[in-house]
Amino acid sequence: MALWTVHGNGRRLVRDAVVASEERLSWPLTIGFGLQHLLAMFGTTTLVPLLTGFPVTTTLLLSGLGTLLFLLLTRNRVPSYLGASVAFVVPLGAASDEAGASPSALLGGVMVVGLVVIAVGVAVKALGVRLLESAMPPVVTGAIVLMIGLSLAPQSVSSFDQQRVPAALTLGTVVLLTVISRGMAGRAAVLIGVLVGWGYSALAGDLAQERVDELIAAPWFGLPQLITPQVHISVMPFVLPLVVVLVAEHVAHLKAVAAMSGRDLDPYVGDALIGGGLATTLSGSAGGSALSSYAANIGVMAATRVYSTAACLVAALAAIVLSFSPKLGALINTIPLGVLGGATLVLFGLLALVGARIWLDARVDLADPVNLVVLGTAVIAGVGDLTLQVGELRVTGMVWGSVGIVLVYPLLRRLADARNAARER
């Protein structure tokens, strides 16, 4: 039995048609959509290991393998690309600076986080998805999706300001093709927009010279460096709160894709958590960063309405190939930050609005004081990156915002419901 059925004739799409996870287009078109996912994840997936001291090519290899593992465990029903998690940058940096943790010890922390996420996934599989829904109802997942999308806005705007002309060309191309084109060009708007901005920068001589030099000097073939992890108790206080962040991100990703595609993905929540946890465990066991679903890739699906896991498979295989070819990786790394900023300005905005859509579909009462106070505070903290200092531990707004939404909201909801019930007696 084929893994994917061909959507229509595989070459032409009706304007508002949705390509489901178990469908694909012709392989040339599928490869094109996979390249959009590759470009969407590449910048951050190579930046995070640089910031945390891990080998870039190793993280690239393990993100590809982790994505393949995720697709396998979710039985090809949940489209996703697992890239290096930005949420780990500050906690790992704090563990290194304040606890003296070595790269091997940091990897041990990443591996333990992955194992705990697996345990959560097993519990959800055993006890049912209602276990998670009681703690993460639509009002919570919508807030997390919104927070993730908006929290990335400063990064996107900062990149846009680096080179405004190619950024504007990229942004304009993506928007115009998405809105005006009724054919395949509209579906491939992100890829075409990036190529337009990249081509302009190359012709104008605006490519960063150091990246061009790295491209010239990079060998065509090289083996990724593998590192053996070591588990140290001193690292755990810095990384264990990130379990909630990874669980929240995976569940929010599932809810976002379900809302956009009109599919019920609740039966796959446990599988997604197990797959995501195994991917992070695998990555930490060999020298890569923690892995999570990527906002930019969700944005690509929202823009193209192509949810085919075949496209995610192509992106994963391409990442694995790039990890063994520093030359090809260096070529993609010459894409100017401004070009990526122009593309992500659209993608992150789409993701943020998906969070609002989850609220609308669930008819969340935004006049409810509990919803307004808890969700509003957490979202602003995450978007503004309000960092809290707890002893030697620094907790970023994204981390404590997610933890606050997931842990505090259900408690306050029960308290408010009990108060209302008492008043009615």
Residue 118 banded pLDDT, cuts 50, 70, 90: very high
- More confident position, 317 or 42: 317
DSSP-derived 3-state class of residue 13? coil
> What is the number of alpha carbons within 13 Å of residue 132 lying toward its C-beta?
29
Annotated domain spans of the chain = 19-363
Highest-confidence segment of 73-77, 85-89, 377-381, 414-418:
73-77
Residue range 346-361: mean pLDDT, rounded = 72
pLDDT of residue 280: 92
Sign of the torsion formed by the C-alpha atoms of 140, 141, 144 and 146: negative
Residue type at 48?
Answer: V
Residue 132 banded pLDDT, cuts 50, 70, 90: low
Q: What tokens appear for 166 in the block?
A: 């190619």
What is the per-residue pLDDT across 268-278, written as a single tens digit (0 to 9) for each?
888 999 999 99
pLDDT of residue 316: 93
User: For residue 247, what are the CA distances in angstroms to 231, 253, 267, 286?
Assistant: 21, 10, 16, 22
Residue range 349-359: mean pLDDT, rounded = 72
Q: Helix 295-304 to helix 337-361 angle, to the nearest 10 degrees?
A: 80
pLDDT of residue 213: 81
Residue range 332-361: mean pLDDT, rounded = 74
Angle at 396 between CA 39 and CA 95, to 5 degrees: 95
Residue type at 387?
Answer: T
Is the predicted pLDDT of residue 69 greater than 90, yes or no? yes
Residue range 61-89: mean pLDDT, rounded = 87
CB atoms within 10 A of CB 360: 14
Residue range 386-390: mean pLDDT, rounded = 69
Report the number of secondary-structure helices (H) and strands (E) in the chain.
22, 6
Lowest mean pLDDT among 8-22, 248-262, 303-317: 8-22
First to last CA, the chain: 60
Residue 1 banded pLDDT, cuts 50, 70, 90: very low
- More confident position, 234 or 73: 73
CB atoms within 10 A of CB 422: 8
Residue 317 banded pLDDT, cuts 50, 70, 90: very high
pTM over 0.75: no
Residue 115 banded pLDDT, cuts 50, 70, 90: very high
Is the predicted pLDDT of residue 84 greater than 60, yes or no? yes
